[in-house]
């Protein structure tokens, strides 16, 4: 991607200032989680916070199962986290295998129930923080969002498994 395309993508609609990206391509920014962000990446974030212009930081860990975003806008920070842990990956895999065994018709019915009951298996938690927030406060909230996302995903997968069990008992 050229610099021109990158600038075009990072433009904030309706505003004269542009967001700039603190990450490059598919760069991995931490080893396993949020408490071990690479020092050079942490320094980039801290410097961007001090500088004060809008930016976006899209991070991921080495295993590629944790994705986190820090976006500084004119008004606040927008933080988001999405993760698939080994536990949730195993639970998700077994749940999807159970759905497949029920067949296409039942799978479509279960998908409709998921929509009606708002059972999402692609959980991303997002929250705002004021611009006065420190790097440490940002990382702490990202960690909290990570835990909330994992809990929500496990809860939703358990609800989905209960629905599947009802279908299996009728099958």
pLDDT at residue number 12: 38
pLDDT at residue number 143: 96
pTM (predicted TM-score): 0.79
User: Is 47 within the bounds of a domain?
Assistant: yes
Cα 83 from Cα 169, distance rounded (Å): 32
As for how many domains the chain has, the answer is 1
User: Is 11 within the bounds of a domain?
Assistant: no
User: Is 163 within the bounds of a domain?
Assistant: yes
CB count in 10 Å sphere of residue 138:
20
The range of the structural domain enclosing residue 144 comes to 18-170
User: Is 45 within the bounds of a domain?
Assistant: yes
pLDDT at residue number 77: 97
What mean pLDDT do residues 134-147 have? 96
The answer, yes or no, to whether residue 2 has pLDDT greater than 70, is: no
144 versus 96: the higher-pLDDT residue is 144
């Amino acid at each position: 991607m050229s610099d021109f395309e990158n600038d075009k993508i990072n433009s904030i609609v309706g505003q004269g200032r542009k967001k700039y990206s603190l990450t490059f391509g598919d760069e991995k920014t931490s080893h396993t989680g949020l408490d071990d962000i690479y020092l050079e990446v942490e320094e980039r974030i801290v410097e961007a916070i001090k500088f004060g212009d809008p930016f976006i930081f899209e991070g991921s860990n080495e295993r590629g199962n944790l994705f986190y975003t820090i976006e500084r806008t004119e008004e606040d920070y927008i933080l988001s986290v999405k993760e698939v842990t080994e536990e949730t990956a195993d639970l998700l895999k077994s749940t999807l295998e159970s759905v497949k065994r029920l067949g296409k018709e039942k799978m479509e019915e279960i998908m409709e129930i998921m929509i009606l009951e708002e059972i999402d298996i692609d959980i991303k938690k997002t929250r705002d923080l004021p611009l006065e927030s420190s790097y440490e406060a940002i990382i702490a909230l990202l960690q909290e969002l990570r835990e909330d996302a994992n809990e929500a995903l496990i809860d939703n997968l358990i609800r989905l498994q209960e629905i599947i069990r009802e279908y299996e008992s009728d099958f």
